[in-house]
Structures are given as C-alpha cells and as structure tokens.
Structure 1
Amino acid sequence: MTTDGTLTGTPTTAGTYPITLTATNGVAPDATLNTSITVTGSGCTGSWCWPLSR
C-alpha cells in the first residue's frame, strides 16, 4: 500500500486474504479494522480486462 492509501498489484491466486487497516493521526489510540480482500477470476477476455485496461 502506498502512503496515499492506494493498494496496487496483480493477484495471481484466487482466495480470501485477511488484512488489517490502521489509521493514525498522532493521537493515541490508532484506529484499526480487521477485514479481508477476496480475489476471484481475472475478469479478462482475450486482451481486454475489466475495468478496461490494455
């Protein structure tokens, strides 16, 4: 994850992956959220992927 909060990458294996998001503002305590990201099929047909990218 980048410093602006963008999560990028190319998933290679379908599955559900647990993640923990943490927000800080310099005043304790930090806020946390335990959640998950589910990776499914690629969404690609031929050379086109959804959302459209090429």
Structure 2
Amino acid sequence: MDNIDWQMLAFVGTSLVHDYWNYWGLPKVYFWNIYHENESELLNYQKNKSNAS
C-alpha cells in the first residue's frame, strides 16, 4: 500500500463522483458562460428573458 498512485486515485475518484452526479440528475456546474459569448448576446438574452416573464 506504500506505492499508491495518489494522482490516479484522485482522478478515478473524481470521475466516479462526476458520473454519479450526472446520473442522480443533480445540477450541472459550468466554469464558463454557456449562453452567450459577447456583450450584445448577453443583452439580447437578458431582454428576451425579462420579456418572457
């Protein structure tokens, strides 16, 4: 047990958590904005979202 590859263990553990997270239908976490890429798209998105409410 002294020769455990901790980086591989962390990778496999994180992958399993990620798979179960999606399987259980928990909210997805994004580290970037998936809705728009520039300011004009952001303004259009916000305007359309407020009109729909």
Under a length normalisation based on structure 1, what TM-score does the superposition of the two structures give?
Answer: 0.20
Which structure shows the higher helix fraction?
A: 2
Higher-RCO chain (CA-CA 8 Å, sequence separation at least 6):
1
Larger radius of gyration: 2
Which structure shows the higher strand fraction?
A: 1
